[in-house]
C-alpha cells in the first residue's frame, strides 16, 4: 500500500534530503535520498530529483513511499474528551500516554485509532480515511505522548489544508501550562534558540546553531504562579518544533517537572505520567465560516494534584 505524506515548509534554507530526514523521523536519510532519485518527491507539484535542492518557506512537499508496508489502521473504541466538533474539525483533550499516530512500536491504541472509530459512518467506514495522509488521517499538529491537552483534527481535506496553513502562518495560537524547577528572576521572557536533532542521541532534540542545521524556534513564557522553588508558567509557541518547550525550558535552567528526557528526574511525591506540560488553550479560525474558535482544556488530575502539593509546601 502506497504511503503519501504532505508537508508545508515553515522555515527554508535546508537541503531537501536534510529537511525530510528531520521531519520524517522514522525514515533514514539514505532511504529519503533514494525516494528523491526515484522521483517520489514533489516540491510545489513538480518532481524534484535533486537531494541538494534548497527548500523555501511556504514550499509544499509531497513524498510517496511505494515500498512501505503501512500499518493496517483499525478503528478502536478509545474514549475521547471532545472540546469542539462540527462537520469540518474536531478538537479533543488528549490524555497522557496516548500516542498521536501509529509508528513503529505503536501500531494500535493511538489517537488516530480512536478518531477512526469516532468518525465512522453507520456502515462502519471512517470519514477520515486519507485526509492528510494514509498514516496520519486528519492530524494537523502533534503533542508528545505524555503531553496532555488540546489538539485539532481536520475532518475534510479542505479543513486539513486550511488548518495547516494557519499553523504555518502562525495565526493559530497554542498556549501551554508547565511546572518547572526553579524560580526565574523575571516575570516573562522569550527564548529564541534554534533546535535540531541531538548530535549524539538521535532520539533527543537540542539547541543547534543555524549554521549546523538548527531550525528557528521561538517560545514566549510568562509566570502564572510562583511555588517556592517551582514555578507555574504559561508558554506560548511561535513555532512548533519537536520537544520545543521541553528543550527551551531546560536550556534556561528550568526544565519541566517530570520530564524523563530533559528534566532532573527528581521525584516530588506525585505520581506523574510524564512531564507536567499541558496544552490548555487553542485558538484558531474555522476553515469554512472563518469564525474565531477558542477552546480550553482542563488539566489532568495528576497536574492539578502536583499544584496542590506544591502550594501546600509553599
Active site residues: 144
Element (H, E) at 24: none
* Closest by Cα among 17, 65, 10 to 40: 65
- Separation of alpha carbons 208 and 297, rounded Å: 32
Considering Cα of 231, then 236, then 238, then 244, what sign does the dihedral take?
positive
Compute CA distances 145 → 99, 102, 255, whole Å: 5, 11, 18
Compute CA distances 205 → 43, 94, 193, whole Å: 26, 23, 12
CB burial of residue 186 (10 Å; 0-12, 13-18, 19+):
exposed
Question: CA angle 186-144-109, nearest 5°?
Answer: 155
Element (H, E) at 307: helix 301-313
* Closest by Cα among 230, 238, 244 to 272: 230
Which residue matches cell numbers 495522509? 133
- Separation of alpha carbons 84 and 78, rounded Å: 17
Element (H, E) at 35: helix 29-37
- Separation of alpha carbons 20 and 1, rounded Å: 21
Crossing angle of helices 16-23 and 29-37, in 10° steps, is 130
DSSP 18: H
Is the CB of residue 314 less than 8 Å from the CB of residue 265? no
Amino acid at each position: 500500500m502506497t504511503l503519501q505524506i504532505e508537508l508545508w515548509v515553515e522555515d527554508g534554507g535546508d537541503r531537501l534530503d536534510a529537511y525530510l530526514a528531520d521531519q520524517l523521523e522514522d525514515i533514514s536519510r539514505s532511504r529519503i535520498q533514494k525516494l528523491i532519485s526515484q522521483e517520489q518527491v514533489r516540491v510545489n507539484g513538480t518532481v524534484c530529483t535533486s537531494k541538494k535542492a534548497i527548500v523555501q518557506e511556504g514550499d509544499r512537499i509531497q513524498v510517496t513511499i511505494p515500498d512501505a508496508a503501512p500499518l493496517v489502521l483499525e478503528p478502536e473504541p478509545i474514549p475521547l474528551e471532545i472540546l469542539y466538533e462540527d462537520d469540518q474539525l474536531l478538537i479533543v483533550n488528549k490524555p497522557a500516554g496516548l500516542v498521536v499516530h501509529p509508528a513503529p512500536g505503536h501500531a494500535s491504541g493511538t489517537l488516530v485509532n480512536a478518531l477512526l472509530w469516532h468518525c465512522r459512518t453507520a456502515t462502519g467506514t471512517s470519514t477520515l480515511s486519507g485526509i492528510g495522509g494514509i498514516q496520519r488521517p486528519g492530524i494537523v499538529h502533534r503533542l508528545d505522548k505524555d503531553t496532555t491537552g488540546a489538539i485539532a483534527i481536520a475532518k475534510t481535506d479542505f479543513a486539513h489544508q486550511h488548518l495547516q496553513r494557519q499553523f504555518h502562518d502562525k495565526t493559530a495560537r497554542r498556549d501551554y501550562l508547565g511546572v518547572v524547577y526553579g524560580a526565574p528572576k523575571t516575570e516573562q521572557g522569550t527564548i529564541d534558540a534554534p533546535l535540531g536533532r541531538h548530535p549524539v542521541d538521535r532520539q533527543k532534540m537540542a539547541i543547534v546553531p543555524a549554521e549546523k542545521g538548527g531550525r528557528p524556534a521561538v517560545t514566549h513564557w510568562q509566570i502564572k504562579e510562583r511555588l517556592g522553588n517551582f514555578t507555574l508558567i504559561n508558554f506560548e509557541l511561535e513555532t512548533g518544533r519537536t520537544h520545543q518547550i521541553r528543550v527551551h525550558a531546560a536550556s534556561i535552567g528550568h526544565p519541566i517537572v517530570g520530564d524523563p528526557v530533559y528534566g532532573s528526574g527528581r521525584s516530588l511525591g506525585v505520581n506523574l505520567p510524564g512531564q507536567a506540560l499541558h496544552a490548555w488553550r487553542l485558538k484558531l479560525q474555522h476553515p469554512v465560516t472563518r469564525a474565531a474558535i477558542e477552546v480550553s482544556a482542563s488539566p489532568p488530575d495528576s497536574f492539578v494534584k502536583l499544584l496542590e502539593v506544591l502550594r501546600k509546601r509553599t
